[in-house]
Amino acid sequence: MSNDTENKTPDTANSDGSVTPPLHRHFIRQIIDEDLASGKHTGVVTRFPPEPNGYLHIGHAKSICLNFGLALEYNGRCHLRMDDTNPTKEDVEYVDSIKEDIHWLGFDWGNHYHQASDYFEQMHDYAVQLINKGLAYVCHLTAEQTKDYRGTPTIPAKPSPWRDRPIEESLAEFAKMRAGEYDEGAATLRSKIDLASPNMHMRDPVIYRIRKVSHHNTGDKWCIYPMYDFAHPLEDALEHVTHSICTLEFEVHRPFYDWVIANVDVPAKPNQYEFARLNLTYTVMSKRKLLELVKEKHVSSWDDPRMPTICGFRRRGYTPSAIRKFCETVGVTKYNSLTDVALLEHAIRDDLNKTAARAMAVLNPVKVIIENYPEGQVEWIDAVNNPENPADGTRKVPFSRELLIERDDFMEDAPKKFFRLAPGKEVRLRWAYFITCTSVEKDANGAITAIRCTYDPATKGGDAPDGRKVKGTIHWVSAAHAVPTEIRLYDRLFTKEDLNDDSDGKDWREHLNPDSLKTVTGYLEPELAKLAPGTRVQFERIGYFVADSQDSKPGAPVFNRTVTLKDSWSKGAKKE
Ligand code: ATP
Ligand code: MG
């Protein structure tokens, strides 16, 4: 069993073995440092409290990296707590996926897996405490009436007719609520605070409501459920959380959080701190919208590689270390902003550049015939797996008389600056030989069917003994050995930068990118066809790809494009 104060050894080293140091001494680090220095706390306890009503997305990753990351940094602990106070929308499918995704990101909660529903009995007792102190009452206003009574920020709320009922009466009524004697909506338990508060959340907010539905954990044991705002501070206190970190929209809820902690007899006094949630360009992040994308079949599933979910990114080939690095890079602030998704893509490229093996694949082929290369001959040429990491060694690539190259790497009427293959021009075939184009073959419509070349046997390995230089190096595969394979070219799911901005009056779905997935047949060098599902690789000069974890068969992988080699969306870059 792991000990109580530390999480299990986490796997947060980067893919290359290094550990990302803290980049910013952001305000939460400052608060923790002050709290430790002043003796307010002797250690750090944080928590990540997802509601199990959907899959985790990149916004959650930011919160996970922050909460679990701080626990590691300060040698404390971080709890995983399922916020399951709303029985209507929750599901165990989501609970399992949440655990898997946090582990994949490299974090662990040790023996601190908790559920809000574990505390229902204690929460009920705290509610009774409030009634006994005259700080809560059972109210029978309908939802509609409650709204009418609420007032506005400048007009105080009207008191509920039950606000000043005797304590004994509220106790008895609350017991009746628990016993199921009331229908949904017929009674609520409300705190008794301040009807004139400019903060609407302090105007006697509801703390218990009736829901006659089964809960995925507690079954039919309860028909009253605590409201999130009441439950959350209690869970934090019961777990001795020191720093309860949430997103900015909870700032206005903080006075109620503090009120709960101050007015019931809890074993610890946590504090809530708010930071700005992550918003990304070209990305929707609300769980409701993500669910709609799946249900309306705009994507194939929650783990469709175009989804901003952790499982989607995993299937797309993103690495946990790149996601962690990205989360540290964007920092933690109190101001809402929109982060450029290119920053995330950059982190992925940067990570894969160091770790992914290179290989050759041709996605839009045209045949090259080397006239002076003997028919039937095959040479197995040594190719370097990763120039960034010599320890990755070399592999053998077959070379023969007929090759495939990218159609784009040849131009019949090439401008001066075109350094790839053109009539009369010499280029290097990666790891192999120099070739010179002598002529082209065309079909009846004038489309090029083959490019005829000669090779220079003295240039084997890619250098001319006479010191002659070529300006271009292109990739290739041997036509007879190439393995045709399904390749999925994923691109951004939306074409609009800021999807939170609906001032154009359009539905967010209207901004779906019709070209977010193109499927092509690629021709792979033989070693590529042997890769196990989940293996990441760079197709030289094209991009980073991963063998799909679901659709690959032994010896017949299907590849997903993780990210292009260069940002094709940035200003000035050519859109593919
Ligand atoms: P959504 O609005 O996407 O449905 P949520 O806030 O309802 O998300 P929860 O399951 O309640 O989802 O979130 C768990 C934790 O993750 C919360 O502490 C929440 O503040 C945090 N979180 C959710 N979205 C983001 C985000 N975009 N950036 C940072 N933290 C986030
Ligand atoms: Mg929430």
Encoded amino acid at 380, one letter: W
Give the structural domain span for 375. 361-475
Nearest-atom index, ligand 1, CA of 62: 29
**Pair (138, 218) in one structural domain:** yes
> Containing H/E element for 255?
helix 254-263
Q: Angle at which helices 167-178 and 120-132 pack, to 10 degrees?
A: 160
What is the distance in A from the centroid of ligand 1 to the CA of 61?
A: 9
Encoded amino acid at 367, one letter: K
Question: Average pLDDT for residues 120-129, to the nearest whole number?
Answer: 98
Residue 24 has pLDDT above 60, yes or no: yes
For 365, list phi and psi in degrees, rounded to 5.
-85, 150
Mean per-residue pLDDT over the chain, rounded: 94
158 belongs to the catalytic site? no
- For the Cβ of 63 lying below 6 angstroms from any atom of ligand 1, the answer is yes
Question: Of 20, 545, 121, which is closest to residue 330 (Cα–Cα)?
Answer: 20
For 238, list phi and psi in degrees, rounded to 5.
-65, -30
Render pLDDT for 470-485 as a digit per residue (tens, 0 to 9): 999 999 999 999 999 9
In the beta sheet, which residues pair with residue 560?
Answer: 488, 546
**Pair (96, 134) in one structural domain:** no
Which residues, including other chains, have CB under 8 Å from residue 238's CB and lie 6 or more apart?
119, 122, 266, 267, 268
For 508, list phi and psi in degrees, rounded to 5.
-60, -30
Residues by chain with Cβ below 5 Å of ion ligand 2: 51
In the beta sheet, which residues pair with residue 435?
Answer: 427, 455
Inside any domain, residue 352: no
**Pair (87, 151) in one structural domain:** no
Instruction: Decide which of 180, 210, 228 is a domain's last residue.
Output: 228
- For the Cβ of 365 lying below 6 angstroms from any atom of ligand 1, the answer is no
Nearest-atom index, ligand 1, CA of 278: 28
Nearest-atom index, ligand 1, CA of 52: 10
CA of 361: how far to CAs of 34, 406, 517, in Å? Answer: 55, 9, 19
> Containing H/E element for 293?
helix 287-295
Inside any domain, residue 344: no
315 is written with which tokens? Answer: 């299937």
Render pLDDT for 30-63 as a digit per residue (tens, 0 to 9): 999 999 999 999 999 999 999 999 999 999 999 9
Residue 12 and residue 320: Cα distance in Å, rounded? 8
**Pair (158, 111) in one structural domain:** no
Residue 399 and residue 384: Cα distance in Å, rounded? 15
Render pLDDT for 459-518 as a digit per residue (tens, 0 to 9): 999 899 999 999 999 999 999 999 999 999 999 999 999 999 989 999 999 999 999 999
Cα 131 from chain centroid (whole Å): 43
Catalytic option among 158, 277, 367, 460? 277
- For the Cβ of 308 lying below 6 angstroms from any atom of ligand 1, the answer is no
Inside any domain, residue 366: yes
What is the distance in A from the centroid of ligand 2 to the CA of 318?
A: 25
| Beta carbons of 533 and 549 less than 8 angstroms apart | yes
Output the residue whose Cα is nearest ligand 1's atom 27.
59
Inside any domain, residue 570: no
What is the distance in A from the centroid of ligand 1 to the CA of 58?
A: 10
CA of 521: how far to CAs of 307, 397, 407, 460, in Å? Answer: 23, 20, 14, 29
Model confidence, pTM: 0.93
209 is written with which tokens? Answer: 């409501």
Question: Of 536, 517, 195, which is closest to residue 351 (Cα–Cα)?
Answer: 536
- For the Cβ of 51 lying below 6 angstroms from any atom of ligand 1, the answer is yes
- For the Cβ of 298 lying below 6 angstroms from any atom of ligand 1, the answer is no
| Total domains, the chain | 4
Residue 180 and residue 162: Cα distance in Å, rounded? 20
Residue 400 and residue 377: Cα distance in Å, rounded? 6
Question: Average pLDDT for residues 132-151, to the nearest whole number?
Answer: 96
**DSSP-assigned letter for residue 22:** P
Question: Average pLDDT for residues 149-169, to the nearest whole number?
Answer: 96
In the beta sheet, which residues pair with residue 139?
Answer: 188
**Pair (111, 191) in one structural domain:** no
Let me know how many helices (H) and strands (E) the chain has, helices first: 12, 25
CATH number, domain containing residue 130:
3.90.800.10
In the beta sheet, which residues pair with residue 564?
Answer: 543
Residue 288 and residue 279: Cα distance in Å, rounded? 15
**Pair (376, 509) in one structural domain:** no
| Beta carbons of 4 and 111 less than 8 angstroms apart | yes
